[in-house]
Amino acid sequence: QKEVEQDPGPLSVPEGAIVSLNCTYSNSAFQYFMWYRQYSRKGPELLMYTYSSGNKEDGRFTAQVDKSSKYISLFIRDSQPSDSATYLCAITPGGYQKVTFGTGTKLQVIP
Amino acid sequence: GAGVSQSPRYKVAKRGQDVALRCDPISGHVSLFWYQQALGQGPEFLTYFQNEAQLDKSGLPSDRFFAERPEGSVSTLKIQRTQQEDSAVYLCASSGPDGLHEQYFGPGTRLTVT
């Protein structure tokens, strides 16, 4: 079993839709949770990180963590064509910063 | 620019050749990471440096892979006797002492072994 599981998609939505991206993880030792966005032929860029259960909001993006279910989500409101990219969840136990990434979900927002 | 830079951006090597991939982290960043990203997959951890010390190399897939950061800034990932399965994008990331898990990634080097 992989440490973190993520549906690879692709996911195609119309502009303005609410997008929900999800990951599950297996080890309760993981304490820090991140979402990265990766455009084609670019390196990943950090969107959000959180270390507690609950919601964290930043503009159109909301990260949600449920440690009891080992489930993390990223919601994108009012999706835009510029949001078209691959979204990677990432987890780490904390302290020393080794990060484990999901496979990524490819999102396409259609104008 | 103040971001992480990597060179070359693209590298084609014949099977059996040695390659060296360079990473210039953000100035002042003490932590440096190398990842390997296969097509359609997320990045896989290779190795981690804190300043010049290589603290974790557990992700290096074989003894053909070697990384160094002799002066605590620029890092080089070397792959000896390249194999076709080494074809991937190699990503470098750095983070500062207060950056916790905020790793800044470079654009990667796309290695193709023919």
The tens-digit pLDDT sequence of chain B (114 residues) is 589 999 999 999 999 999 999 999 999 899 999 999 999 999 999 999 999 999 999 999 999 999 999 999 999 999 999 999 999 999 999 988 765 568 899 999 999 999
Would you state the pLDDT for residue A31? 83
Chain A residues in contact with B4 (beta carbon < 8 A): 43
Would you state the pLDDT for residue A97? 62
Query: In this complex, is the C-beta atom of B96 within 8 Å of any C-beta atom belonging to chain A?
Result: no
Would you state the pLDDT for residue A52? 79
Query: In this complex, is the C-beta atom of B95 within 8 Å of any C-beta atom belonging to chain A?
Result: yes
Would you state the pLDDT for residue A9? 85
Q: Which residues of A touch B (CB under 8 A)?
A: 6, 8, 32, 34, 41-46, 49, 88, 90, 92, 94, 96-104
B91 is written with which tokens? Answer: 């990503």
Chain A residues in contact with B104 (beta carbon < 8 A): 46
C-alpha distance from A79 to closest chain B C-alpha (Å): 23
Query: In this complex, is the C-beta atom of B93 within 8 Å of any C-beta atom belonging to chain A?
Result: yes
pLDDT block averages, 10 residues each, chain A of length 111: 86 97 90 93 92 90 93 96 97 78 96 96
